[in-house]
Amino acid sequence: MKILVINGPNMDMLGKRNPALYGDMTLKQLSKKVSDFAKKKGVKTVFFQSACEGKIVRMINRFPCDGILLNAAAYSHTSIAIRDAIECCGKKVVEVHLSDVTAREDFRKVRMFDGVVAACFYGKGLNSYLEGIDFLATEVGA
Ligand code: DQA
Mutate to test the pocket of ligand 1, among 97, 117, 129 (most ligand atoms within 8 A of CB): 97
d(CA 61, CA 39): 24
The candidate with the shortest Cα–Cα distance to 31, out of 4, 61, 56, is 4
Task: Tell me the per-residue pLDDT of 13-63, one tens digit each, with 9 for 90 and over.
Answer: 999 999 999 999 999 999 999 999 999 999 999 999 999 999 999 999 999
Helix spans in 63-106 (H): 80-88
d(CA 25, CA 13): 10
| Residue 141 confidence (pLDDT) | 75
| Residue 7 confidence (pLDDT) | 98
Mutate to test the pocket of ligand 1, among 99, 104, 108, 124 (most ligand atoms within 8 A of CB): 99
Strand ranges, E, within 2-142: 2-7, 44-49, 67-71, 92-97, 119-122
Which residues' Cβ are closer than 6 Å to ligand 1?
10, 71, 73-74, 76, 97-99, 101, 108
